[in-house]
Amino acid sequence: QVQLVESGGGLVQAGGSLRLSCAASGSTFTIETIGWYRQAPGKQRELVATINSGGNTNYADSVKGRFTIPRDSAKNPVWLQMNSLKPEDTAVYYCNARVYARLMGKYLEVWGQGTLVTVSS
């Protein structure tokens, strides 16, 4: 079993910053890809940003230039630095990881429980 625990959400004014953290724990595993998704009320869950074990990042167009996953965050824990926040960034943010569970000999997709980010105007 691999578990993801997020932290760092909260309330911030528009233009402010927050940093989210996601820590993976459990049995022996290797992180292949890890990142963040978000779900706003009444909307589908969407990709925010991911990073793979090679350090390659992928960002949603809506957050490019504002959100950053540091290059060494393919390790554990992973951070999401969010700057210039907008009210439309308000959502529950979920950490997601594709890991290789070495003792099980297979890949797993794991989700965290989510952390709420609220941006006031």
**Predicted pLDDT of residue 71:** 66
Which residue matches tokens 């490019």?
A: 64
Here the tokens at position 56 are: 């390659």
29 vs 10: CA distance, rounded Å: 30
Instruction: List per-block mean pLDDT (blocks of 10 residues) for the chain, which spans 121 residues.
Output: 91 97 87 94 96 91 95 73 98 95 91 96 94
pLDDT at 15: 98
Q: In this structure, what token pair is assigned to residue 9?
A: 């959400």
Predicted pLDDT of residue 17: 97
